[in-house]
Amino acid sequence: MNLPLAIGLILFALFVAAFVGIKLLRIPDIVIFILLGAALSFTNYFGDTDVFKVAGEIGLIVLFFLLGMKFTFKELGKKGKKVWKASVLDVVLGLGVTFAIAMFFGHDLFTSLLIGGLVYATSSSITVKLLEHKNKLDNKESGFILSLLIFEDLIAPILITVLIGLSGDGFSGMDFVFVFLKIALLVLGALVIGKVLFKKVHHLINRFLEEDYFVLFVLGVAITYGGFALFLGLSEVIGAFLAGIMLAETSFKDKVQEVAMPVRNLFLPFFFLNFGLTLEFTKEVPAFGLLIVVVIWSVFAKLIVGYFGGRWYGLDKRESFESGLALTPRGEFSVIIAALATGVVQIFAGMYILIAALLGMVLFQMAPKISRKLMGDKKEE
C-alpha cells in the first residue's frame, strides 16, 4: 500500500472511531484513538510508523502551545497562590507515595519514578472535554480543577526531563541543577521574546495576520521553541507551553488560536494512535498486583487532593469531593511518560493508562450520584 493511500485510510478510520466513540459511546477521543491503535497493532501491518510518530509529535507540540496560550505569566502567579497547597499535596501523594509503592514492590529508581509519573498527572484534555460536555466550565469548582491542572502541566514536563536524564547514562545532582538552569533559560527567553520582541514587531505581524500563510508563522514559533527545548536536552512540551505563553499577551492571540486549532485537531490523533500501535499485549499481565494497587491508589490520591485542596480553595464538601473525582482520568502526560518505558514496563504502563482513562471517565460521569449517596441530597450552603 502506498503512503498517501495508507494515510487516507487511517484518517478515515480515525474519523469513524471518533464519531462512534464520542457521539454514540460517549468516550473521550483520546481513549478511542489509543484503542484504535491497539487494535491495529494486532494486525502487524504497520511495521514502520515513523510518519505517525512525526505527525503525532507536531500535534503534541501544538496541543501544549495552545494550552500555554490560555495563561500569561501574571495569571500563572495569581493562580499559583490559590492552589499551591493542593499542588504540593498532589505531588506528594501522586508522585511521592506512588514512587514509594513501586520501590516497595522491588522496582529500581527509574521505573519507580516512571510509575509515579504515570499516576501523577491528570489528563487536561479529557477533563476539560468532560467539563465542556457537562456544561460545567463556568462552575466554581472548575476554577479550582483548571488551576490545579496548570500546575500539573508545569511539573510534568520537568518530570519528563528528569526521566529522560535517568534513562541515559545516569543523572547526578549537578545534572539536576542544570535541568533547572535550562528551564530558567527557556522561561527567560520566553519572557524576552513575548514582552520585548513581539511588541516591537507587532505592526509587522499585523500586516500578514489575515494571510493564509500566517499559520506557517504560528507553527514556526511553536515548533521552533519546542525544538529549542529538545536541543537543550529538555522535553519539547515545556518549550511549546512557553511558546504559547509568549503569544498569550499579544493582541492577535485569538487569531493565533484560530489558525492553530485545526492543526492540533489534524495531527494530535496520530500521537495517541501511534502510542496504541506501540502497545504490546501478553497473555499474562505484568506486575498484576502492583497494577491493582496503583489503580486503586491513583483514585484515592486524587480524591484526597480534590477534597482537601477544594476546601482550601473555598469549595464546599460536595464540590470538593466531586472535584476529586473529576481529577481521576489520566491521559496525554501519562502517554508521554509511558513512551519512555521499554519491555514489560511499557506493557504495564499501557494497561494502566487504558484502565485509568476509562475508570476516570466513568467516575467523572457518576460524580454527582456518588456524592449524593455519600453526603445526602441537601447541598451545603
Cell of 199: 511588541
Q: Higher model confidence: residue 129 or residue 196?
A: 196
**Torsion angle of the four alpha carbons 228, 233, 237, 243, in this order, in degrees rounded to the nearest 10:** -30
Q: How confident is the model at residue 309 (pLDDT cuts 50, 70, 90)?
A: very high
Q: Is the pLDDT of residue 48 over 70?
A: no
Instruction: Say how far apart CA 321 and CA 323 lie, in whole Å.
Output: 5
Phi, psi for residue 329 in degrees, rounded to 5: -65, 140
pLDDT of residue 151: 80
**Which CATH code is given to the segment(s) 62-270+283-375?**
1.20.1530.20
pTM: 0.77
Contact in structure between 56 and 273 (CB atoms under 8 Å): yes
Domain boundaries, the chain: 62-270+283-375
Residue 285 pLDDT grade (very low, low, confident, very high; cuts 50, 70, 90): low
**CA-based nearest residue to 325, from 131, 135, 117, 81:** 131
pLDDT digits (tens, 9 = 90+) for 208-248: 888 889 999 999 999 999 999 888 877 788 888 889 988 88
Q: Burial of 44 by CB count in 10 Å (0-12 exposed, 13-18 middle, 19+ buried)?
A: exposed
SS3 track for the chain: CCHHHHHHHHHHHHHHHHHHHHHHHCCCHHHHHHHHHHHHHCCCCCCCCHHHHHHHHHHHHHHHHHHHCCCCHHHHHHHHHHHHHHHHHHHHHHHHHHHHHHHHCCCCHHHHHHHHHHHHCCCHHHHHHHHHHCCCCCCHHHHHHHHHHHHHHHHHHHHHHHHHHHCCCCCCHHHHHHHHHHHHHHHHHHHHHHHHHHHHCHHHHHHCCCCCCHHHHHHHHHHHHHHHHHHCCCCHHHHHHHHHHHHHCCCCHHHHHHHHHHHHHHHHHHHHHHHHHHCCCCCCCCCHHHHHHHHHHHHHHHHHHHHHHHHHHCCCHHHHHHHHHHCCCCCHHHHHHHCCCCHHHHHHHHHHHHHHHHHHHHHHHHHHHHHHHHHCCCCCC
- Of 183, 264, 252, nearest to 219 (Cα)? 264
159-209 pLDDT per residue, tens: 877 787 777 655 566 766 777 788 889 889 988 888 888 888 888 888 888
pLDDT score of 136 more than 90: no
Task: State residue 378's pLDDT score.
Answer: 52
Q: 109-120 vs 140-166: helix axis angle to the nearest 10?
A: 160
* pLDDT at position 98: 95
Nearest-angstrom CA–CA distance, 297 and 221: 40
pLDDT in tens, 50-105: 788 888 889 889 988 887 887 777 777 777 788 889 999 999 999 999 999 999 99
> Residue 321: which residues within 8 A CB-CB, separation 6 or more?
303, 306, 307, 310, 367, 370, 371, 374, 375
For 318-324, which contacts have Cβ atoms below 8 Å and span 24 or more sequence positions? Answer: 318/371, 318/375, 318/379, 318/380, 319/140, 319/141, 320/141, 321/367, 321/370, 321/371, 321/374, 321/375, 322/141, 322/367, 322/368, 322/371, 323/141, 323/144, 323/145
Residues contacting residue 302 through CB under 8 Å, at least 6 positions apart? 94, 122, 324, 325, 327, 328
What would the grid cell of residue 63 be? 496541543
Other C-beta atoms within 10 Å of 255: how many?
17
Using CA atoms, how far apart are residues 74 and 54, in angstroms rounded to an integer? Answer: 33
pLDDT band at 45 (very low <50, low <70, confident <90, very high): low
Instruction: Provide the pLDDT for residue 184.
Output: 86
pLDDT for residue 205? 86
Encode pLDDT of 17-43 as tens digits. 888 877 877 777 777 888 888 888 777
Q: Which amino acid is at 347?
A: I
- Greater model confidence, 350 or 310: 310
> What band does 381 get if pLDDT is binned at 50, 70 and 90?
very low
